[in-house]
Structure 1
Amino acid sequence: MEQYKDIAPRLAGLRDDMGWTAEEMAEKLDRSVEDVQRFEHGEVEIPVGYLLDVSRLCKVDLTTLISGREPHLKSYALVRKGEGFAVDRRKDYDYKSLGYKFAGREMEPFFISVPPKSGEEMAETSHKGQEFIYMLEGRLELRINGEPLILEPGDSVYFNSESPHALRGLDGKQAVFIDVIL
């Protein structure tokens, strides 16, 4: 089963617990009612930006929303190489949460691998907040508001996540980077 089908009932239950209709949730998140309903029924992949927006609005930890488990560490949370919590919420990206053990996070750090694809296959997303990307391996095309930026290892970019953005690996190879979402 795709992980977003496990997340969908938690989204619906959380909205229910808040006492909101799908229409009220859509209005609070500046989304369409159709989006809210599709995500809550597990009909489509759920963008990480939407999950972040819901977790912030409802004051629920992102790890709890995604996994159903509570993070518990408050002083520090060590995540060894290869141990990140896999966030299998998109077919085309490999997300690993690096802060999933820490309770009360104010940022969401991810280790992300993006495969190569054609420019036509790039899917735009946007969400509240700000984002910081630091390139580790490969070359990445990041389109922000339709403007392509090419990032190489050691490059970084900080941007407003509300701007529509899309990613792809270049040169037939995956791009690997750290992504911090605030």
Structure 2
Amino acid sequence: MPSSFAMEAKSVDDTVRKRLRDLRTQQGLTLQDVAARASIDVSTLSRLESGKRRLALDHLPRLASALSVSTDELLREPESEDPRVRGSSHTRHGVTYWPLTRQGPTGGRHTFKVRVSTKRNTPPAELPVHEGQEWMYVLSGQLRLVLGERDFIIKPGEAVEFSTWTPHWFGTVDGPVEAIMIFDVHGERLHLHSD
């Protein structure tokens, strides 16, 4: 039968492992980002998060610093937080954005419901480019997507994925468009895992 000390150590290990993963994903950081900041090998960090390696005391201050939190915060039980995403809509260049995810302090992946106004129907002379990866799923209306020299009409139920390094623009065809948009500032590709 395990001693109470061993059970307590496992509980601390589990808490830190969960906090480490939660804080990293909330901040939109990859394993590589945190490992580099903490001067820890990526494989070590991965094993720490998955429970395949025990935490050492010297890991704690480096990991806390890499995540911009105190060691105490890394060790504490996470508060049960309100699951509702709070944020007001904002409109820019004929697109209204409603946040569907919390905005992490260092950026990362952001999800929005968007409504594209019928006024947004003509692409600019020069298509914008910027860092990132974008996904869109059209809920209603017909979305016009211009990617470089190519022009697409995306219908309800269809999804698109593209690098925002490609000159791009989206707008309406014959009425307003509603869609779900996922934007990853770091340009990481979306990976869906089935368990």
TM-score using structure 2 length: 0.46
Larger Rg: 2
TM-score using structure 1 length: 0.49
